[in-house]
Structure 1
Amino acid sequence: MNNRVVSCDKCNQEFQIKPKTFKKKGIEETYFNCPECKEKYGVIVTDKTIRRKQKAIKELQIKIDKQKDPEIKKRLFSQFQKDKKEIETLVLFLKEKFRKNKG
């Protein structure tokens, strides 16, 4: 994410993303702000469970990359897709819950 140049939707200022993290009660929100108008862009909201699952999926990706047997690779990839979908669902749920508690 670092060194990436984006354009603000609000003021059209181009800038490099400088991610920040807000932590509260085990929940972490990663976001960045436009340096010109201070518009906030949320990236992801995670909790301990999601971070643990993200770590596991990274390890699974390494196993997939190293696997030579096509059948095992296919099975691992299927698990990877299932786990990724589960993380996406958990993140959406947590993001909604986080917004309600903040606002």
Structure 2
Amino acid sequence: MIVTCNECNNTFEINCDMKLINDIEVTYFKCSECNKLYIICCVDEYIKKEQRRYKKLKNEVLKKICHNNITLHSDTLKKRMLKENAFKDL
């Protein structure tokens, strides 16, 4: 996928990387020009468990609730990790 950096307007192909930080899988990419960091997602054991549960659900309403829980938890992880400066080594 080709994207444009919000910082330097460089257009580049995304090369995703994954790093484990405190038992949280962080998927990210960086601008090839200015190295701006873009966090795609943060996944911990709770999210993995919810993803497995989501796959088993048949009811669409329950799937939506489960998906919302996963998204909310991932966003919370990302905010906490940003606050703790946990991405400094990426």
- Shorter-chain-normalised TM-score: which range? 0.7 to 0.9
Hey, what does 2:78 align to over in structure 1?
Answer: 95
Deviation for aligned residue 1:59: 4.4
Give matches, 1:8-87, under 5 Å.
8-60=5-57, 64=58, 76-87=59-70
How many residue pairs get aligned? The number is 86
Question: Partner amino acid for 1:50?
Answer: I
SS at structure 2 position matched to 1:37:
coil
TM-score by length of 2: 0.83
Q: Which digits, 9 at most, give the CA deviation of each residue in 1:76-103, with x for residues without a partner?
A: 1011001011111111221121112226
Segments of structure 2 that go 5 or more residues without pairing to the other structure are none
Larger helix fraction of residues: 1
Question: Partner amino acid for 2:42?
Answer: V
State the Cα RMSD in Å.
1.6
Question: Partner amino acid for 2:76?
Answer: F
TM-score by length of 1: 0.74
Question: Partner amino acid for 1:15?
Answer: F
